[in-house]
Amino acid sequence: CVTSDVQAACRDTTVTQELLKEGFHRDLLVKVELGEDAGGCAVAARTRLPPGIYVDPYELATLQQHNLTKAVLIPDVTDVEAPEYLATALVLVLYLEVDPRCSRCFRAAVPVHARYHRPAEGSQQALVVLESPEVLLCCCHSHLAADCWEPAEVRAPCSAENVGACQWHSATHRPAREELMLEVPVGLREHSSLVCALTLLTTLLCASLILAATCRHGHFS
């Protein structure tokens, strides 16, 4: 009975995530409701970003300068121009803010961007699967139930302001993972020849117009 009660209490910790806006540029909203009071603890969500989606480190730095979000990106350097098939996965540690209306509720948002994918055959959509994040707590003066939390190895500072390393803990009992699907528009492979031909013709036409304008209005010594 004691084990059942402990597991039931641990499973009270819930995580939800949403993708706001439309198109290639979205906002990832993460919300956490803890199963126990976390007074004095820092709460974060660690999530793996697959190659099809990324956080712009320059945009993130600007947002943090204006205190609009707090996060750590691993690695902190990424090629924002790379397509999905040449990119690598990233790890995002997002520091959550407490909800003033609920002492056990935390939330935060960060801009994310979809990468371009290869043309597909028979489908104009590519799916990017975003797994449910891991809930992390860093408590300097609070005691966490050992049955609910275990030490976690996290390459992240204590907070956005404190760059020192801290001991983080991860939830051991959580609801089943929920995946978030992002549909990314892609071209059709059967249109490749037509697109290449039109691109070549457009390039030749523009080059001819530029050359004609240069010859007509240019001054040559």
The confidence score (pLDDT) of residue 176 equals 42
156-203 residue pLDDT tens: 666 656 656 677 878 754 544 567 878 877 755 555 666 677 787 888
The confidence score (pLDDT) of residue 123 equals 65
pLDDT band at 60 (very low <50, low <70, confident <90, very high): very high
Looking at the structure of the chain, the number of domains it has is 2
pLDDT of 47 above 80: yes
Is 7 within the bounds of a domain? no
% of the chain residues with pLDDT over 90: 17
Same domain, 145 and 197: no
Asked which of 7-16, 78-87, 121-130, 205-214 is least confident by mean pLDDT, the reply is: 7-16
Q: What pTM was computed for the model?
A: 0.75
Same domain, 86 and 174: yes
Is 131 within the bounds of a domain? yes
Is 46 within the bounds of a domain? yes
103: Cβ contacts below 8 Å, ≥ 6 apart? 37, 39
The confidence score (pLDDT) of residue 219 equals 65
Residues 25 and 19: beta-carbon distance below 8 Å: no
Taking the C-alpha atoms of residue 156 and residue 136, their distance in angstroms, rounded to an integer, is 11
112-151 residue pLDDT tens: 998 988 876 666 678 888 888 888 888 765 566 666 677 7
Is 113 within the bounds of a domain? yes
Same domain, 41 and 144: yes
Is 5 within the bounds of a domain? no
Range of the domain at 69: 14-187
Same domain, 179 and 192: no
Q: What is the CATH number of the domain that holds 31?
A: 2.60.40
Same domain, 117 and 76: yes
The confidence score (pLDDT) of residue 63 equals 92
pLDDT band at 5 (very low <50, low <70, confident <90, very high): very low
Same domain, 33 and 60: yes
Same domain, 180 and 200: no
Is 42 within the bounds of a domain? yes
For residue 17 the two structure tokens come to: 């995530």
Report the pLDDT averaged over residues 65-77: 87
Is 38 within the bounds of a domain? yes
Same domain, 129 and 192: no
Is 114 within the bounds of a domain? yes
Same domain, 133 and 182: yes
Same domain, 57 and 158: yes
Report the pLDDT averaged over residues 65-78: 87
The confidence score (pLDDT) of residue 209 equals 85
